[in-house]
Structure 1
């Protein structure tokens, strides 16, 4: 689950990501995806663009003592440091999705890429690497958020940020066309490619940390934000957070923040 490089490079961001985002935002989708794939005892599992490793960690929980062959790969060594601290039994590796750090002839029964494909510069190479990593008859799942034009909460937050920064291409929602995702996987040689749109309500008991992290990501993805000195960037983050308060209030339901979020989930076989 990769994030923009600016966000990942902020001091303590991986710890903030793990503390504030993983359980409410990423864990529900990891559980759903692995349920969809149907893990079996002894399955070898590969989590690509793993972030702090929630897919791999849920797989370990479900496989128990049989989960001795789980690998998580991410380009960020800082994110992996958090992953190792939380789940030391899993094999965490630093690497690029377009050149996976796999051992000779190493393959997996289950390969998952949750919300990482949209960030890969070379998606064709990444899909080919996934195909090579999947054993014959193995199961693949790739999830990519739908466009934020279909997700009102994120669209509204982006529009607030754009008043300060100009147009922002939010990479997180840049690969929302399911047909393009399916074509990518078929082109890589996967069989039985199928995708579906899934929507669910996401809840945060405290929306403030989420709003700050999301604002940091938006500023970092903008051309204007990338050109700013650190102090200017911090000032803009504070202004956007403040101006986003009405949007946050609009999606509060009395017990916290609640909003609808949609993803594509593409599955295939090796």
Structure 2
């Protein structure tokens, strides 16, 4: 998520309450299944946010493993620590991971973080540094929102108020650069697949509001607004987005298709 959104005191709690389960947990489970955990594995979750991937790994391993989550946001990590205090949460940058001397992991994962890293080659090099020889890597990045009608339509509503928005969440949607990035970092057996799933939300309102906050925070116009103007624009976009949600109504909630790149590799 953009820095502006992260800096709002309530945002990490909202993220955990409304997004971690319905939006991010299904993909976290997919990633953890893909890396095929074994008892005793050491797992590193980079750009962990409030920690859903790390928590799924912990559920699978129990006490027969060790899980570390790293994120640049102290506010997101505060929520992660409150939810799962037994995991080793560390604040740090993906381009300079806060690892102990010689520390390496059997599994390194990064769910929907790589697209936000300013220096992707440095981050990939750090992933390689963290992964033990023969270890497994899994990295997921959303496909372009041009391929995801639900989010594409919501962006277009927001752009009526904000002008063109470069949505960072979908900025690494082409699989080829991701594959090249990992190969250049020294990973072996690099494989790229595209995975699509139907996401379901019992209540679409929190998703719409959080998505709008993210879009405003990623727009050049939105970043220049004062708090009151930003709140007014968020409310206007949320209100105008209601018609865009109707085609995705599913009973009392929402259902829409979402696609991600999934890159796997070995150390």
Instruction: Tell me how far apart the structure 1 counterparts of residues 155 and 252 of structure 2 sit (CA, whole Å).
Output: 24
Which residue does the alignment assign to 2:55? 57
Cα offset, 1:97, TM superposition? 0.1
Find 1:161's aligned residue among 158, 174, 195: 158
Matches within 5 A, 1:84-123: 84-123=81-120
Moved more, 252-261 or 211-220: 252-261
Which residue does the alignment assign to 2:255? 258
Q: Is 1:219 aligned with 2:216?
A: yes
Which residue does the alignment assign to 1:134? 131
RMSD: 0.5
Cα offset, 1:255, TM superposition? 3.4
Cα offset, 1:250, TM superposition? 1.8
Instruction: Tell me how far apart the structure 2 counterparts of residues 51 and 178 of structure 1 sit (CA, whole Å).
Output: 23
Which residue does the alignment assign to 1:70? 67
Matches within 5 A, 1:199-218: 199-218=196-215
Cα offset, 1:93, TM superposition? 0.2
Tell me if the contact between 2:25 and 2:53 (Cα under 8 Å) persists in the aligned partners: yes
Per-residue deviation, residues 4-54 of structure 1 (Å, max 9, x unmatched): 111111121100000000000000000011101100000000000000000
Equivalent residue of 1:176, what SS? coil
Instruction: Tell me how far apart the structure 1 counterparts of residues 138 and 56 of structure 2 sit (CA, whole Å).
Output: 15
Cα offset, 1:174, TM superposition? 0.2
Which residue does the alignment assign to 2:140? 143
Instruction: Tell me how far apart the structure 1 counterparts of residues 84 and 250 of structure 2 sit (CA, whole Å).
Output: 34
Which residue does the alignment assign to 2:178? 181
Instruction: Tell me how far apart the structure 2 counterparts of residues 161 and 255 of structure 1 sit (CA, whole Å).
Output: 24
Which residue does the alignment assign to 1:45? 43
Which residue does the alignment assign to 1:11? 9
Cα offset, 1:65, TM superposition? 1.5
Per-residue deviation, residues 180-211 of structure 1 (Å, max 9, x unmatched): 10000000000000010000000000000110
Equivalent residue of 2:29, what SS? helix
Tell me if the contact between 2:9 and 2:75 (Cα under 8 Å) persists in the aligned partners: no
Which residue does the alignment assign to 2:230? 233
Tell me if the contact between 2:29 and 2:56 (Cα under 8 Å) persists in the aligned partners: yes
In the comparison of the two structures, how many residue pairs are matched? 267
Instruction: Tell me how far apart the structure 1 counterparts of residues 32 and 251 of structure 2 sit (CA, whole Å).
Output: 31
Cα offset, 1:249, TM superposition? 1.7
Q: Is 1:30 aligned with 2:28?
A: yes
Instruction: Tell me how far apart the structure 2 counterparts of residues 254 and 63 of structure 1 sit (CA, whole Å).
Output: 36
The runs of 5 or more residues in structure 2 that have no matched partner are none
TM normalised by structure 1 equals: 0.98
Q: Point out 4+ residue stretches in structure 1 off by more than 2 angstroms.
A: none
